[in-house]
Chain A
Amino acid sequence: MPLWLIVSATMDAVSSVKLPVRQIYVSSSLWKKNLAAAGPQKFTQEFIDKQVEEFEVGKRHLANMMEEDPETFTQEDIDRSIAYLFPSGLFEKRARPFMKHPEEIFPKQTAIQWDAKGRPFHFLFYTGKQSYYSLLHDVYEKILAIERHQDKMRNKGLFTSDTKQILLTGSRWLLKEEIEENLVENISDQDYMRLIQLMEKLLSMPYCSLEKEFILKFRKQLEVQSSKYEIPALQYDPQGVAFSVADGRRKTAKASITLRDSGSGNITINGRNYLHYFPVLQNRVQLMFPLLFVGMMGRFDIEGSVEGSGHSAQAGALRLAISRALLSFVSEGEVEKMRQAGLLTADPRIRERKKP
């Protein structure tokens, strides 16, 4: 279970997520090199400035070589010119010659933290984790400000508990790695838990909506999972008959189905009756299974076209297409049942290559 869920589960905050959630969306900061752990500066600022100067001069030379205007020479032009001047057949894109601004090549390091006299810039420098503790300081300052606001409202007699609440569904707290990336500092697990506890405390106050943007900076929107199954739109014939169109694939077979709500139960594939097209019983059963499962056997008229692969794969493709088309005629609970029955999952198995 992710760390922030353990923290928020132990709090009695109203707005925390209580159900376990599988962490599907994880940001790239988990795999990126931890900048803060790179240690003290390996490259001095003068060295990097010199590199930037050389890059600018080289860019102008390159523009002159390519007979283009040096003033309006963008990074894309540079890439194009380098690919033209130094053609490389290497497969690994990162091994090919490139010319980029030094800021993209040399890793971002924390600059020297003090001025010429040696006095540090940040007032919490001597704690070691200045950005993190400064963040805690700011959050606590906001908590105190909201408490003062609350007292003011109470004194005026305008205190209400049903103020605007911040919508937290569909978002999660930033991970420890993401916060480390933002602060360019290493923080421990306990530090991270303390920060999340403070944010939960801020959220538990009635007037927390005053600090909405600040809190949302620490929440990451999760991908909308309800768009997993794109339900095809229900269209209507000139006669008023409802129909839906859907596609399906299996192995190399591509199928397209039109499901008409006419009420006869005919199935036509590639212009022929399904009895003629699929002499084997197993394939016909595959076609009928979605309708049988949902219990709408005699209701629909199916018109399908399929191409590619063999008869079994074509039947599988048609089955998937029928299930997808059915989504627009069926209720939410039924959709879940169909998903659990495996009707909506595309079969990923393909032919394996020949090995000696």
Chain B
Amino acid sequence: MAAGVLSGVRQVLRGPRLVSAVFSCHGQTLSSASAAVKSAPDTGENVRWDLMKPYLFGSRLDIDIIDLEQTAEHLQRALNFTAHVAYRSGIILFVSRRRQFSQLIETTARECGEYAHTRYWKGGLLTNAPIQYSPGVRLPDLIVFFSTLNNVFQQHVGIRDAAKMNIPTVGIVDSNCNPSLIAYPVPGNDDTPVAMEMYCRLFKMTINRAKDKRRGLTF
């Protein structure tokens, strides 16, 4: 089932558009050459996690280059898992704290019939759910992080909370993120609109195909 759903993924990932999309740069957007590129000694925060080292080739001109072969494998695994969850009518929650892409992610969630949370994360949303919502609420079965950092470049609270509540997570980890608590990390760029649109498109396609398969229609 995974192969049927994801046959198009390999072609997409090898396309020329991906090359420009996947360069990562410490959480800075590559808008122009004069954009300030902070190097590690200047700012203590933007330090590359050693845990991300296996996924990177290295850095050139202060920009980290991610190994796309590994990204493709991880992405395939993540999309496969998402497809299975969607096939079994699980609740999928898209999370991101990047205000640039908040509208895009909410629209994607609405179009595939899943849920989104791109706003301020209140403390006990997952861990204190019966009181935050109503008793008898059903928690998400999968949380997809389009960016694992929040607006102050710290790890999103949702990752830790999902791990506490035994909810599997899929996350796009950039080179300044910590992939340890995420079940299906996908090393990749989370800064540029091109990359984000690609990820949204892929997840939407996967979920829609899985749901159609469930309903008995096959493409």
CB-CB under 8 A from B117, the residues of chain A are 124, 126-127
Segment from A71-79, A136-144, A267-275 that makes contact with B: A136-144
| B125 sits at the interface (CB 8 A) | yes
| B138 sits at the interface (CB 8 A) | yes
Nearest residue (CB) in B for A125 is B115
Give Cα distance in the complex from A144 to B104, angstroms.
11
CB-CB under 8 A from B109, the residues of chain A are 123
B125 touches A144 (CB 8 A): no
Question: Looking at chain B, what size class is its interface with the partner chain?
Answer: 20 to 34
Nearest residue (CB) in B for A133 is B119
Give Cα distance in the complex from A125 to B119, angstroms.
12
| A113 sits at the interface (CB 8 A) | yes
Nearest residue (CB) in B for A114 is B138
| Candidates A119, A133, A144; contact of B91 at CB < 8 Å | A119
A137 touches B137 (CB 8 A): no
| B49 sits at the interface (CB 8 A) | no
| B140 sits at the interface (CB 8 A) | yes
B158 vs chain A, min Cβ distance (A):
10
CB-CB under 8 A from A124, the residues of chain B are 106, 115-117
| A40 sits at the interface (CB 8 A) | yes
> Contact mask A91-132 → B, CB, 8 Å, 1/0?
000000000000000000000111001111001111111000
Give Cα distance in the complex from A315 to B11, angstroms.
97
A188 vs chain B, min Cβ distance (A):
10
| B interface: dominant SS | loop
Give Cα distance in the complex from A137 to B110, angstroms.
11
On whether A123 and B106 interact (CB within 8 A), knowing A128-B122, A133-B119, the answer reads yes
Which residues of chain B from 93 to 120 have any CB-CB distance to chain A below 8 Å in the complex?
A: 93, 103, 106, 109-110, 113-117, 119
CB-CB under 8 A from B93, the residues of chain A are 126
| B16 sits at the interface (CB 8 A) | no
CB-CB under 8 A from A120, the residues of chain B are 91, 115, 138
A132 vs chain B, min Cβ distance (A):
9
Give Cα distance in the complex from A144 to B106, angstroms.
14
A113 touches B133 (CB 8 A): yes
CB-CB under 8 A from B89, the residues of chain A are 117, 119
| B135 sits at the interface (CB 8 A) | yes
CB-CB under 8 A from A40, the residues of chain B are 134-135
Which residues of chain A from 323 to 338 have any CB-CB distance to chain B below 8 Å in the complex?
A: none
CB-CB under 8 A from B119, the residues of chain A are 127, 129, 133
CB-CB under 8 A from A140, the residues of chain B are 103
CB-CB under 8 A from A123, the residues of chain B are 106, 109-110, 113-116
Give Cα distance in the complex from A126 to B133, angstroms.
9
Question: Looking at chain A, what size class is its interface with the partner chain?
Answer: 20 to 34
| B20 sits at the interface (CB 8 A) | no
A157 vs chain B, min Cβ distance (A):
28
Which residues of chain A from 212 to 226 have any CB-CB distance to chain B below 8 Å in the complex?
A: none
| Candidates B103, B115, B116, B134; contact of A141 at CB < 8 Å | B103
Nearest residue (CB) in B for A40 is B134
> Contact mask B115-133 → A, CB, 8 Å, 1/0?
1110100100100000011
B116 touches A119 (CB 8 A): no
| Candidates A112, A125, A128, A144; contact of B103 at CB < 8 Å | A144
A126 touches B140 (CB 8 A): yes
With a 10 A CB-CB cut-off, give which of A113, A117, A127 has the most chain B CB atoms. A127
On whether A112 and B134 interact (CB within 8 A), knowing A123-B116, A124-B106, the answer reads yes
Nearest residue (CB) in B for A41 is B134
Give Cα distance in the complex from A114 to B116, angstroms.
15
CB-CB under 8 A from B137, the residues of chain A are 114, 118
Give Cα distance in the complex from A128 to B122, angstroms.
8
Nearest residue (CB) in A for B113 is A123
Give Cα distance in the complex from A40 to B134, angstroms.
6
Nearest residue (CB) in A for B137 is A114
Give Cα distance in the complex from A303 to B138, angstroms.
81
Give Cα distance in the complex from A303 to B135, angstroms.
77
A90 vs chain B, min Cβ distance (A):
39
CB-CB under 8 A from A137, the residues of chain B are 103, 106
Task: Pick 12 A–B contacts, CB within 8 A, sort by A.
Answer: A118-B137, A118-B138, A123-B106, A123-B116, A124-B115, A124-B116, A125-B115, A126-B117, A126-B140, A127-B119, A128-B125, A137-B103
Residues on B close to A: CB < 8 A? 89, 91, 93, 103, 106, 109-110, 113-117, 119, 122, 125, 132-135, 137-138, 140
- With A126-B115, A144-B103 known, 13 other A-B pairs at CB within 8 A are A40-B134, A40-B135, A112-B134, A113-B134, A114-B137, A118-B137, A123-B106, A123-B109, A124-B116, A126-B93, A126-B125, A126-B140, A129-B119
7 smallest CB-CB distances across A and B, nearest first, come from A118-B138, A123-B110, A40-B134, A126-B117, A127-B119, A127-B117, A126-B115
